[in-house]
Structure 1
Amino acid sequence: MAQWIGFMVSVETEDKGTYQGVISAATGSEITIIKPFCDGIPCNSSKVILSAEDITNLQLIQKQESSSGESTVTVAKPIPKRAGRTNSCSEIVSASKTNNYNGSYSYNKSKPIDIELKHTSFNESSSFKTGTPNKKDKYKGRWNKGWKDELCFGSPLDHIINKDFDFEKNLALFDKQAIWDEINSQKPDVIKQADYKKSISKYRHDENILTTTPTVYRQIMVPKQEFCEYVTDEGLIIPSIPRSLRNKLWVAAEALGFSWERRIELMGRAAAEMTLQLVGGGHRLNPHNTHQCPTVVVLCGCNRQGAMGLNAARHLASHGVNTIVYLTSADCPEVQKELALYKLTKNKIITAVSKLPQLTDIIIVSLCEESDNPKRYPELAEWTNSNKAAVLALDPPATGTPNVVTRFSLVPVLPLAHATENGKIYLCNLGFPIQIFNEVGIKYKSPFGSKFVIPLHLNDDI
C-alpha cells in the first residue's frame, strides 16, 4: 500500500459524504488522508481516517510531486455542485497552464482537486477561434465569477470567531474632544475666531435667550417670624402668622371693601373644588354613571366657618353631588344668609346626629373657629372618627378640631402654625391685593402661580 502514499484521492462514502485529500497512510482496512475536504468544505481536523467498510468508490487523481526542501502543493477548495450542473463547480484554472510563445505548455507542480475533471484545451474553446464569445461562454463567464465569490466567502468561520467584537468598549477608547482640541490648537488665530463665530448656537422659538436672575424662595416677609414655616411644591417659603396678625389682616380687608361674604364665597368654592377632586372628579360625576353619585356630609357650626361649609355644600349641589348638611345652630348672621341660599337646592338639612348616614364619601368639618378653647362636639367627633370617609376641615383652629381626626385642611391667605391634627394643609387664594398686606406690614408676593389652591409642606430646615 505504500505506493499510493502521496496521491491525491477522491473517496465516496455511504453516509459521510465525499472526501478529497492527499493519502498519507494506507492499509488493507483503512486509509488516512491529510488536507481533507468534505463535500467541498475544508475539514476542521488536519487528517481524516476512513474505514474500508465505509468506502463505496475511490478515485486516484494525481500523485503529489515533491521537490527538495518544503512542499509547495497548492490545493484548491472544491465547491459542492449546484442543482442542474453536471460538472463540479471547481474547474481547472487557466493559470494552471501557461502558454509559451512557441505554442508549448508548461505545467505547474499541482492542480486543483476535483472529482470530475474536465480538461479543456485552448484549441477546443470556440471563444479563442472566433474572438467573439458565444452564448454558452457568456453564461460560463458569469458562473466563474460566482464561483470565485463562493470560493472566497463560502468557507464557515464559526470555528475562527470566538467572541463578538465589543464596539462600545472600542469607541470609549476614542476621545473625540481631545482630537478636536488638538486640531484646533494648530489653527491660526484668525481661523479660530471664524470658527467660533460659526459655532454660535441659534435658539429656537421656545428657548429663553435672556439670562434669568436667581430664584428668591422667601418672597413673603412678616413682621414677627413664627417658629413654623411651610414650603410649596416649587420650594417657595410660606411663613405662618399668629392669630393677632391675621385678625388685623381681616380688619384691613374689611376696611378696603373685602367683606366676609366675599371671603366666604371664595373659601366655599375652593372647598367644593377640592371635594370634587377627592370624590373622583369626572369619573364619579358622569352622566353615564348616575348610579354612583357621591354623597358629602357637611358639619356646620354656628360661626363663619359654618357659613363656609354651607357655601361649599351649595356649590357641590350645583355639580350634582348629593349633600347632607348637619347644622348645630343658625343664630349667626353669616350662617343665616348661607342657609337661606342652600335651602334652594332642596337637599337635606338635619340637626340630629342619629340621622347622619352610615356611609358617605367625604365629610367636611366646619365646626370651630380659631380660639384658645374651641367648642367640643363629642357625638359628632365619635360619628366622624367611626366613618371611613376622608375628612376635610375648613379653616380649623391651629390646634385642630377637638377629638376629630382630620386628613386635609383648607386655610385662607396665610396659614397659622397648625398642629399635626389638622392633617395636610392647603392654602386658598382669596384675591387680596398687595395694599391689604402693606396695611399690616407684610411684604407679600403671590405664591399661587396658575393655581387657586396649593398644597403646603412643613419646612424642616428651620
Structure 2
Amino acid sequence: MATGSSFIGSTVSVDCGSILGTYQGEVCDVGADDQTISLVNAFRNGLKCKISKLTLSAIDIQELSIITSSIEAKSSHGVIGSNRADTAKDGLPPLSRSSLPPAAGSSVPTASSCSSALPSSSKTRNSPAKLSERRRVYSASESTTKRQGTPRKAEHSRRKPNDRNDDCFNQHVCDIIESEFDFEYNLSLFDKAAVFEEINSQLPNEGLRLVECNKRVPKYRHDENVLENVPAVYRQITAPSHPDQEYYTDSGLVIPSISYSLRTRLLSAAEKYGLSVPRQLEMVGRSASEMALQLLGGCHRINPENSHQRPRAAVLCGPHMQGAQGVSCARHLANHNVDVTIFIPNAVKVINWLQEEMNLFKCTSGVHVQNIKEMTSGSVDIIINALDSHDNEQLHAESWYKAVVNWTRSHRASVLSIDPPSYGVAIEAKWSLSIALPLPLQKSVGKIYLCDLGLPARVFTELGIKYESPFGSKFVIPLHSSE
C-alpha cells in the first residue's frame, strides 16, 4: 500500500471540472486528515499560477493522473511503458496513469506564463490497449504507403522540418530570459577612444584625423542633390580652329562657335551642292516662325475658336540678307492667322532675295510699312528683330535705325532676334536664333537657339569640320553658354 508521502515529488495532472479547470504541478504535500493535495510550480489550464503553493480538496477533484512518479524523478532514467496503476489509499481518489486530457496535454505554455516547459506527451505512459492501437494505425499507414509505392525516405524527409522546428522553438521563454540585459555594463566594455586611435593610426596622412574628415563633409539642404550635378561633356562637333566660345545642348553635347567668315564659306559650299539661297531662307523663316508661334502660346492661343483674339507681331527688317529672313518668317506667321505688321526702310538698293520674299509676303494679309511712325500704336505680343547685318555695322548710325530702336523700347513686348551679328545688337533681345553653327555672341542677345539648315555632312567635311548632327528629333534646339 502506498502512503501519501510516496507521492511527494511526483508530477500530476488534476481535473477539477469545467469550472475550476485542470491543474498540473509537482506534489509537495498530501493531507490525509483534511483530504487535500498541495502542488508547487502549478499550472491551471496550461497557464502558470501566480501563487507558489496550490492546495486542492478531494471534493473538487474529479480525476487525478500521474505524469511522472517520484521514483522516476529520482532515477536517472524513467521506466516507460509500465502497465501498473498506482492507487492512493490515504483517502484520495485512485491515481491512474492514463493519458492527459486534451486541455492539459496539448496546451503549450505561452510567453506570458513564464514557466518551465512540462514534459512532452511522448514521455507519458500509455496503456497496452492504446499502444496496440497505435501499432495497428502505424501498420495500416505503412501498408498503405507500400501499396502506393511511396519510398519511406520521402516520408522521413517530410518529418525533418517538424524536428527542426521542435529544436528551435521548444525552449521556453523563461529559460531564455533569466535576467535583464545590462546595457550600461556592456556599453562600458566598448572603448571608443581606443577604436578611434586604431582607425587614425591606419590613415595614410599623419595629420589627417577621422573627426576632421567628418567635419569636411558639406551639409546639404533638402532641395540640394548630394551628387554634383555636372552635365556630361560630349564632343561630336570640332572646328578646324580653336573656338572663341562654346555652347552646350540640354543633353550635354558641345557646340563650338565659328567665325562669320567660316560660316559664309560653309553656306557657299552648301549652295554649290544644291542648297540654294532661297531654300536656306525658307529653312530659317520656317524655324523662326515655328519658334515665334510657340512663344505666342501655341495651340492654346492660335486656334479657330480664338479667332477674335489673334496675336499681333511686329517684324523689323533691314535691307539685307537678315531682313529677307525676317520677311520669310513674317509670311509664315501671317499664314497661321497672326496679325503681322512688317517694317522695311525705303532703301535705294534692295537685294534680289529680299525683293522675292516681299513679293510673296504681299500675297498674305500682312501689313507693310516703310516709316516707323506708321507702325501700330497699340500693344504687340512679340517683336521680331531682323534689322542688323553682319556686313554693315554702320547701320546703327542711320536715323531710321535709331527711330526703330526708340519705338521698340517704348513697347514692352519680348524680342526675338534672327541671326544676330557677333558684334552685338542695339535692341536687347530675350531670345536669339542662330543658323547652322553659332557665332560667338554677346549676352545682349538673350537665350540662344540653333536652327538646322539641313546642310549635308559632306559640306562640313569639305571645310575641315567634324560634324554629327546634334538636333536629334528637332529642328530648333536651345544652347547654353559655358561661361
Aligned to 1:397: 421
Q: 1:367 — aligned with what?
A: 387
Deviation at 1:365, TM superposition (A): 2.5
- The yes-or-no answer on 1:426 pairing with 2:449 is yes
Aligned to 1:221, the other structure's residue is in SS state coil
Structure 1 residue aligned with 2:239 = 221
Structure 2 residue runs of 5 or longer lacking an equivalent are 87-95, 105-125, 141-161, 178-232, 397-401
Alignment partner, residue 406 of structure 2: 379
Q: Structure 1 residue 338: deviation in Å?
A: 2.5
**How many angstroms apart in 2 are the aligned matches of 1:300 and 1:60?**
114
Q: Distance in 2 between matches of 1:57 and 1:374?
A: 122
Q: Counterparts of 2:85 and 2:374 in 1: how far apart (Å)? A: 120
Quick one: structure 1 residues 245 and 158, their matched pair in 2 at CA, closer, same or farther if it must change by over 3 Å?
farther
Matches within 5 A, 1:260-275: 260-275=277-292
Q: Does residue 415 of the first structure (1) align with residue 438 of the second (2)? A: yes
1:445 has 2:467 as partner: yes
Q: CA RMSD in A?
A: 5.1
TM-score of the pair, normalised by structure 1: 0.56
Aligned 8 A contact 1:13 1:57 in 2: no
CA deviation vs aligned residue, 1:117-148 (integer Å, no higher than 9, x gap):
9x99849x99999xxx9xxxxxxxxxxxxxxx
**Partner in structure 1 of residue 340 of structure 2:** 324
Residue 299 of structure 1 aligns with an amino acid whose one-letter code is: V
Query: Cα 1:47–1:302, aligned 2, differ >3 Å: closer, same or farther?
Result: same
Report the CA distance shift for 1:126/1:58 in structure 2 as closer, same or farther (over 3 A): closer
Decide whether the 8 Å contact of 1:298 with 1:310 is kept in 2: no
Q: Report deviation, 1:431.
A: 3.1
Cα deviation, 1:201-250, whole Å, max 9, x if unaligned, reads xxxxxxxxxxxxxx98354333x434212344555543322233334445
Q: Deviations over 1:396-432 (max 9, x none)?
A: 122443142x232111122211112222322223233
The structural deviation recorded for 1:269 is: 0.9
Evaluate the alpha carbon distance shift between residue 68 and residue 383 of structure 1 in structure 2; reply closer, same or farther with a 3 A threshold: same
How far residue 268 of structure 1 moved from its aligned partner, in angstroms, is 0.4
The alpha-carbon deviation at position 395 of structure 1 amounts to 0.4
Aligned to 1:137: none
Contact 1:300 1:327 in 2 (8 A): yes
Amino acid in structure 1 at the alignment position of 2:69? E
Q: Which amino acid aligns with 2:452?
A: N
Provide the identity percentage. Answer: 26
Residue aligning to 1:178 = none
Partner of 2:41: 34
Identify if the C-alpha distance between structure 1 residues 68 and 428 changes in structure 2 by more than 3 Å, giving closer, same or farther.
closer
Change (3 A) 1:96 1:158: closer
Matches within 5 A, 1:95-110: 105-106=83-84, 110=97
The equivalent of 1:10 in structure 2 is 15
- 1:70 maps to which residue? 74
Structure having the larger proportion of residues in helix: 2
Supply the AA of the counterpart residue of 1:355. Answer: T
Q: Is 1:297 aligned to residue 342 of structure 2?
A: no
Distance change in 2, residues 1:434/1:73 (3 Å): closer
- Residue 358 of structure 1 aligns with which residue? 379
Q: TM-score, normalised by structure 2?
A: 0.54
Q: Which residue of 1 aligns with 2:152?
A: none
SS state at 1:67 partner: helix
> Which structure 1 segments of 5+ residues have no match?
75-94, 99-104, 134-148, 163-214
CA contact (8 A) 1:32 1:48 kept: no
Alignment of 1:42-441 (within 5 A): 42-43=46-47, 45=48, 58-63=61-66, 65-67=69-71, 70=74, 105-106=83-84, 110-114=97-101, 122=129, 217=235, 219-222=237-240, 224-233=241-250, 235-250=252-267, 258-282=275-299, 284-285=301-302, 290=306, 295-303=311-319, 304-318=321-335, 320-329=336-345, 331=347, 332-333=350-351, 334-349=353-368, 351-352=372-373, 355=376, 357-358=378-379, 360=381, 362-370=382-390, 371-373=392-394, 375=396, 376=402, 377-384=404-411, 386-387=412-413, 389=414, 391-404=415-428, 406-433=429-456, 441=463
